[in-house]
Amino acid sequence: MFRGFYTVASGMVAQQRKTEMLTNNMANRNTPGYKADQSSMRAFPEMLLQRMGGVNIPTEQDLNLPYNSRVGKLNTGVYMQEMTPTFFQGDLKETERGTDVALIDVMMPTNGTVLFAVQGLDGNFQYTRNGNFTLDGNGFLTNSNGNFILNENGLPIQLNSDQFSINDQGDILVNDEVVTTLGIGYAENPHLLSRGTGGLYSTDDNQPLPNANDIQGVNFRTQQGFLERSNVDPSRTMTDMLTAYRAFEANQKVLQAYDRSMEKAANEIGRVGG
């Protein structure tokens, strides 16, 4: 009976975590470049139950032979194994701001993607799809969190003027002359990236991603004056939230049924036995 409690409780915890994930997706549906998370549910390993017993053989030494009889399998519940972001392209929104830049995946050799390189607060390389940039008081190009945007050489981009343009290749031009190029990294398997705060991603070993311009077959372009929207589907997300909530309620009712059964076992059966 107690095993049923554990199984139902694991289902409730899994659905609660899934609801929290979906709620976070909805909260970031207007965050530029945000990539929606998706969950992976997995069952705990099944257990094979066997009844252990013995057979007494009437001999002088009272021989007892042990034996096991198979009862059957027992499922021990479910858990949310991991959350993985989906890196498909979001829609573009025109802002007409010169410091806004959108990355557009034209053609990738695998399921990879390209990302802007930024400098983390710890000095390591980090990456983002959020191209909502701005110029600080010293002329450095930064994101909304204050991280420096890096060029292709891994250095912070500093401009002497806010009158600049960005072409399709990510080159930054002032007075029609290329002064630097946006640092754009290529992640062959973006699911191996670790998501941090502020929509920033990093590699496990904190090593920089390869330059997207140096990878054969990688075709992308940048679009100044545009932002990539999040790829959150509000309708699908709301439907998934309702499904998770109903699954949570179903597990809750089963838990209440177990509780009533245990109450009867403790009160009524115990009273009869007394």
Report, as an integer, the average pLDDT of 125-134. 95
| Amino acid of residue 33 | G
pLDDT given for residue 16 in this prediction: 92
- Dihedral sign of CA atoms 234, 235, 241, 242 in order: positive
| 73 — pLDDT class (breaks 50, 70, 90) | low
Opening angle at CA 164, ends 162 and 168, nearest 5: 140
Residue 214, domain extent: 84-228
In a domain, 264, yes or no: no
In a domain, 253, yes or no: no
pLDDT given for residue 199 in this prediction: 85
| 223 — pLDDT class (breaks 50, 70, 90) | very high
DSSP line for 58-122: -STT-EEEEEEEEEEEE---EEEEEEEE--PPPPEEE---TTBEEEEEEE-SSS-EEEEEEE-TT
Question: What would the pLDDT profile of 18-70 be if each residue is shown by its tens digit?
Answer: 999 999 999 999 999 999 999 888 776 666 666 777 667 676 666 766 767 77
Report, as an integer, the average pLDDT of 179-201. 91
Tell me: pLDDT of 274 over 60: no
Least confident of 11-20, 45-54, 81-90, 140-149: 45-54
In a domain, 91, yes or no: yes
Cα–Cα distance measured from residue 1 to residue 4, given in angstroms and rounded to the nearest whole number: 5
Cα–Cα distance measured from residue 28 to residue 230, given in angstroms and rounded to the nearest whole number: 7
Tell me: pLDDT of 181 over 90: yes
Tell me: pLDDT of 158 over 70: yes
Report, as an integer, the average pLDDT of 99-113. 89
| 246 — pLDDT class (breaks 50, 70, 90) | very high
Cα–Cα distance measured from residue 201 to residue 194, given in angstroms and rounded to the nearest whole number: 5
pLDDT given for residue 77 in this prediction: 75
In a domain, 201, yes or no: yes
In a domain, 165, yes or no: yes
Cα–Cα distance measured from residue 192 to residue 85, given in angstroms and rounded to the nearest whole number: 10
In a domain, 52, yes or no: no
pLDDT given for residue 49 in this prediction: 65
Number of domains composing the chain: 1
In a domain, 99, yes or no: yes
pLDDT given for residue 187 in this prediction: 93
Q: Which helix (H) or strand (E) holds 11?
A: helix 2-27
Q: 68 burial class (0-12, 13-18, 19+ CB within 10 angstroms)?
A: exposed
In a domain, 255, yes or no: no
